[in-house]
Structure 1
């Protein structure tokens, strides 16, 4: 089993640090910019979520190979596979909303359209 090069580990650390900075910066941005940043992050083709999903999928394939060789427990392989599948499903669920997010704050449609009304979020309890 090869070990990651220090550059790869540093790259992962840098990506993590910069994502933390981005998350912190969102608090200081106006709402329209926050939505645009989130839309870019969630972009299925060029966004962070898609890239992260691909990274976990690649890790899953590596873990499967290593589990078949006996170097990793099968549980690790299965957990990474489930994570990759769940991330893919999340991306598919969000994909239908990325166009709305990307267009947020942009030129609006016809002037005869009714302005958007606030939508209360209701939590329903199971009894």
Structure 2
């Protein structure tokens, strides 16, 4: 007879399931609501991305301890440490866009005769 998964494993599975649901909902939301969701997800202190960053950082501390004991290869600790650092940098880079996302999320639907001009998304470098 198999043993049920411990609570933290079930919690990780449930969070993963809910993130999948959130992704499905996000793809169907109108732009203002999608911007609100994205702003909350990216909030560095209270959002999902900040939470995942802290989780990976905690995993890195665990992996370092286990690598020092010989239970894990050092490469695991190095990979988690690198991932933690990169996620932290990404969180900082996205933080500067929080105000814009919040602003878009609180704007009433526009009924202007002329829609906003799309912005070019490709930046070309001079060669």
2:90 corresponds in structure 1 to 90
In structure 2, what is the Cα distance between the partners aligned to 1:104 and 1:82? 33
RMSD (Å), alpha carbons: 2.0
Does 23-32 or 86-95 show the bigger shift? 23-32
Q: Give 1:9's aligned residue.
A: 9
Measured in 2, the distance between the counterparts of 1:13 and 1:105 equals 30
CA distance in 1, matches of 2:8, 2:126: 47
Match of 1:60 in 2: 60
Map 1:1-127 to 2 at 5 A.
6-106=6-106, 117-124=117-124
TM-score of the two chains, using structure 1 as the length reference: 0.84
Provide the secondary structure at the position in 2 that maps to 1:122.
coil
CA distance in 1, matches of 2:126, 2:7: 50
- Indicate the SS of the match to 1:103: helix
Cα distance in 1 for partners of 2:116, 2:89 equals 29
**Aligned CA distance change for structure 1 residues 67 and 126 (closer, same or farther; 3 Å):** farther
Q: TM-score, normalised by structure 2?
A: 0.84
Residues in 1 aligned to 2:46 and 2:52: alpha-carbon distance in whole angstroms:
11
Give 5+ residue unaligned stretches, structure 1.
109-114
Structure 2 gap segments, 5+ residues each: 109-114
**Runs of 4+ off more than 6 Å:** none
Distance 1:79 1:126 in 2: 35
